[in-house]
A and B are shown apart, each in its own frame.
Chain A
């Protein structure tokens, strides 16, 4: 019997159906791998995944919480997508998120006599600037001194967390509870709630506006073109007369600011004060979202909603089945790896030899 021969060849273009199907495949595959891990823990994977989805989508409360969790994820996801588009390896969205939360709290606890919309705008602006400044440091170090951005952004996450805890256990410590948390921000600094009997807040609007702006930036502006050119091949960008140093610094600035808005929303929209654990790793999940979305800002919304489901549902599932909610972290890691494997199918195709 003669076996058919196959050849692997580079794809010339990527069909749209494949671009949609690959993340779906990656998710299904990761569910299978995660199921094996759940089986090792002598638990039922089907009940686990059913309860994750039921907990996140099956009830009104669940769905609202999923939207709440999706809000910061959209912002960290789009921050990372933009950075990766320009080949700025921003792994520091977590630290930038805290920079934003820190700044928003600082403005919020001043209790300024401002009309609410103006106060909120001020929080967003100051938060964005704080994250942009924190994010631009590794950008400058990369562009001007050739310091590896992955390492610096990761190290700066640790530094930011220590900065926040230092202030929370020091000058900002709540004098009433003496917990390491700030006092409440002013009532007129709070984001309005969007849906009655839920915690869904104005942050989701901020997130969606950010998505639209990044989409326009990348697609229709000169800077967007320069970011894409710098990302695709810096030699080509150089040839086109693009100042890559300036482009990388601007990319870092905007990316850091966007990630910081996630922190602003968590403080001003959800908790109304700052704590050490305001983010359960939204910055890192942003990396996975960016990869799953293929760095496309619109797809970031869908991918964020998906991870909103996983994170919200895992907590519900944990109460029902006794499997710890850390399974959500395992799922995230596995999805990143399976998606990465899928990207190979995006680049190459297997064809029957003639």
Chain B
């Protein structure tokens, strides 16, 4: 048990917490935009998987990691347009549309990977992002290596939290977005274009989800694996509820989940007499428990799941 008490263990754990939380922060912020405008986007899991594949293929072909990241974001926008067509234009079930997008995008990702790469005995890899040490700050003992020696995407994820908060709560666009998610009829009466606002919100969401996916193949792993997202999209859906649709709380939730994820990896490594799968389960079990605790006081956007049709 001595392993727990060393500074090295704690620094490693907290630094990994931020790393594991990165894709969750980005994707959950995306989902927050979508739900705040009144659309539950269950396409998140598939959008992240397609993003991870597109990022990998582009980076593999061009050796340009950032081009991979943006291509992943772009693939997310394309899927979000499909999602918007079904949920906003046609106004059909958001649950089923989202699941349809996820099933379609997952199938498409595996199809493209197999068709482009084939099934070689040694899967192709990319040289991943390196962590970027912030000058001076990274030299601070303990805090330095935890906060200031991370991937660029991790810094971006953390910066996105106040940026998204600002957009949602301090700008006219954010006001329209929330109005459309709370009461589309009144928003429409005030001259806000409900359809356009929801389309844009979904596109922002898709872009962020795609980028979140790129983290898996370009930073966390160095290759594409079939189960690479592994249900983390569903965790993000739960995190939005936990965060009560507020970006700063998204950060808190993602860090909590990332922490459990980082801890279970270390517990596995230490080697208890418990199958490692029980550690893998921990984040999912925790998410359900947290949901039970927050469910009663969750304040869903009033128009969530409700299609808007102009009479």
Contact = CB atoms under 8 A, between A and B. Distances in A.
Contacts of B291: 141, 147-148, 151-152
Interface residues of B, number: 45
B156 interface: no
A121 B235 CA distance: 38
Interface string A86-103: 000101000000000000
Contacts of B93: 340, 343
Contacts of A154: 231, 234, 237
B237 A151 contact: yes
Chain B: interface secondary structure? helix
Interface stretch (A63-71, A204-212, A235-243, A325-333): A325-333
B92 A157 contact: no
A303 interface: no
Given A162-B277, A166-B278, A151 B241 contact: yes
A287 B278 contact: no
29 contacts: A145-B296, A148-B241, A148-B291, A154-B231, A155-B235, A155-B284, A155-B288, A156-B284, A158-B284, A162-B277, A162-B278, A166-B276, A166-B277, A169-B275, A169-B277, A326-B114, A327-B107, A328-B107, A329-B103, A330-B111, A333-B104, A333-B106, A333-B108, A340-B90, A340-B92, A343-B92, A343-B93, A344-B90, A344-B92
A327 B100 contact: no
Interface in B127-156: none
Most chain B CB within a 10 A radius of its CB, from A141, A288, A337: A337
Contact of A329 (B90, B97, B110): B110
Given A145-B295, A155-B231, A337-B104, A89 B95 contact: yes
A323 B291 CA distance: 42
Interface in B57-114: 82, 86, 90-93, 95-97, 99-108, 110-111, 114
B101 A165 contact: no
A28 interface: no
Nearest to A89: B95
Interface of A: 37, 41, 89, 91, 141, 145-148, 150-152, 154-159, 162-163, 165-167, 169-170, 284, 287-288, 291, 323-324, 326-334, 336-337, 340-341, 343-344
Interface of B: 42, 82, 86, 90-93, 95-97, 99-108, 110-111, 114-115, 230-231, 234-235, 237-238, 241, 275-278, 280-281, 284-285, 287-288, 291-292, 295-296
B105 A333 contact: yes
B86 A291 contact: no
Nearest to B110: A326
A343 B287 CA distance: 34
B288 A323 contact: no
Contacts of B107: 326-333
Given A148-B241, A159-B285, A37 B111 contact: yes
> Does more than half of chain A's interface fall in helix, strand or loop, or is it mixed?
helix
Given A154-B234, A158-B284, A162-B278, A287 B99 contact: yes
Contacts of A165: 277
A336 B93 CA distance: 12
